[in-house]
Structure 1
Amino acid sequence: MAKDNDKEYLQSEETCLIDENDTTEKQKLKRKYTTASKCRRTVVFVSCIVQIIICSGVGYGLSVMYAELVIVFNAKRAEAAVIQSLFMGLSGVSGIIFTGMIHKFGPGACIMFGGLVGCIGMFVCAFARGLILIILCTGIVAGTAFGLCYLAAFVTVGWMFKNSASFFLICLMAGISIGQFILPLLFESFISQYSWSGAFILVSAVSLNCIPGGLTIHYSDKFFINTKEMSGTKSNANCDVNFLKDIVMWIILVNCLLISMTVNVEAWFIVDHMVTRGFTRESGSVLVSTMGIGSLMGRVSGALLRLYCKCPTFYHWVYLCVIIGGLHAVIINLNNFWALVAACIAYGITFATTGSQIPAIMFESVGLERYPQAMGMANLLCGVGELIGPFLGGYIYDIFGVYDTAFYAASAISAYISLATLFAAVLVRRRNLRETRTKVDTKVKYKTIK
Structure 2
Amino acid sequence: MPSRVSDADDVEVSFTYASYERETEASSLLPGDKSTRFLSNSSRSQKSKEESIKDGEKQLASKSRGVIIFVACLYMNLSCFGMVGVLGVVYVEFISAFQCLRSEAALVQSLYMGLSLAGGILFSIVVTKYDTGACVMIASALAGIALSCASLARNIGTVIALVGIVVGLFTSVNTLSSSIVINWTFVNNQKFALGILTLGATIGQTVMPYITNALIEEYSWNGCLLIMGALIYFNCIPCGLIIHYSKKYFYKQEKSNAHQRNSASFISFLTDSAFMVFIVSTFVFILLGPVEQWFVVDVAVLKGFGAKSGATLLSLNGIFGFVGRFLATALIKFYPKSRPELHMCYGFILWAIAHFSVVASPVYWGMFLAMVLRGCSTSIVIAFLPSLQLELRGTEQFPKTLAISYLVMGIGDIIGGYLGGYSVDVTGSYNLIFYIATVGMIYCGISMIVIFVIFRQRKRQYQNLP
Find the counterpart in structure 2 of residue 402 from structure 1. Answer: 429
What amino acid does structure 2 have at the position aligned with 1:368?
A: T
Q: Which has the larger radius of gyration?
A: 1
Unaligned 5+ residue runs, structure 2? Answer: 1-55
Secondary structure at the aligned position of 1:127 is classed as: coil
Q: 1:420-435 maps to which residues of 2 (within 5 A)? A: 420-435=447-462
What amino acid does structure 2 have at the position aligned with 1:128?
A: A
- Structure 1 residue 322 and structure 2 residue 324: aligned? no
Secondary structure at the aligned position of 2:151 is classed as: helix
Residue 385 of structure 1 and its aligned partner are, at CA, apart by 1.2
- Tell me whether 398-407 or 361-370 shows the greater mean CA deviation: 361-370
**CA shift digits 1:43-90 (9 cap, x unpaired):** 000000000111110122101111111011111100110000100000
Residue 312 of structure 1 and its aligned partner are, at CA, apart by 2.6
Decide which of 228, 245, 249 is 1:219's aligned counterpart.
Answer: 245
Q: Aligned partners of 1:278, 1:43: CA distance in 2, in Å?
A: 45
Q: Aligned partners of 1:150, 1:230: CA distance in 2, in Å?
A: 28
Secondary structure at the aligned position of 2:110 is classed as: helix
Find the counterpart in structure 1 of residue 124 from structure 2. Answer: 99
Find the counterpart in structure 2 of residue 260 from structure 1. Answer: 286
Check conservation: 1:228, 1:234, Cα contact below 8 A: no
Decide which of 157, 161, 165 is 2:182's aligned counterpart.
Answer: 157
Decide which of 380, 383, 404 is 1:377's aligned counterpart.
Answer: 404
Q: 1:234 to 1:115 in 2, by over 3 A?
A: farther
Check conservation: 2:351, 2:373, Cα contact below 8 A: no
Q: Aligned partners of 1:155, 1:434: CA distance in 2, in Å?
A: 32
Check conservation: 1:166, 1:364, Cα contact below 8 A: no
**CA shift digits 1:202-222 (9 cap, x unpaired):** 010112111001100110000
Counting aligned pairs with the same residue, the percent is 31
Residue 342 of structure 1 and its aligned partner are, at CA, apart by 2.4
Give the paired residue count.
Answer: 410
**CA shift digits 1:88-110 (9 cap, x unpaired):** 00000001111101122232111
- Tell me whether 258-267 or 141-150 shows the greater mean CA deviation: 258-267
Find the counterpart in structure 1 of residue 236 from structure 2. Answer: 210
- Larger relative contact order (Cα-Cα within 8 Å, sequence gap ≥ 6): 2
Decide which of 328, 332, 355 is 1:306's aligned counterpart.
Answer: 332
**CA shift digits 1:369-403 (9 cap, x unpaired):** 11100011111111111111111110010011010
Q: Aligned partners of 1:330, 1:125: CA distance in 2, in Å?
A: 35
Residue 167 of structure 1 and its aligned partner are, at CA, apart by 0.8
Check conservation: 1:118, 1:146, Cα contact below 8 A: yes
Residue 272 of structure 1 and its aligned partner are, at CA, apart by 0.6
Secondary structure at the aligned position of 1:129 is classed as: coil
What amino acid does structure 2 have at the position aligned with 1:345?
A: V
Find the counterpart in structure 2 of residue 45 from structure 1. Answer: 70
Q: CA RMSD in A?
A: 2.0
Unaligned 5+ residue runs, structure 1? Answer: 1-30, 443-450
Q: Aligned partners of 2:257, 2:284: CA distance in 1, in Å?
A: 35
Find the counterpart in structure 2 of residue 413 from structure 1. Answer: 440
TM-score, with structure 1 as normaliser: 0.87
What amino acid does structure 1 have at the position aligned with 2:324?
A: G
Residue 353 of structure 1 and its aligned partner are, at CA, apart by 1.1
Q: 1:142-181 maps to which residues of 2 (within 5 A)? A: 142-181=167-206
- Structure 1 residue 281 and structure 2 residue 287: aligned? no
What amino acid does structure 2 have at the position aligned with 1:280?
A: G
**CA shift digits 1:162-210 (9 cap, x unpaired):** 2110110011001110110111112111111001111110010112111
Check conservation: 1:240, 1:370, Cα contact below 8 A: no
Q: Aligned partners of 2:414, 2:334: CA distance in 1, in Å?
A: 35
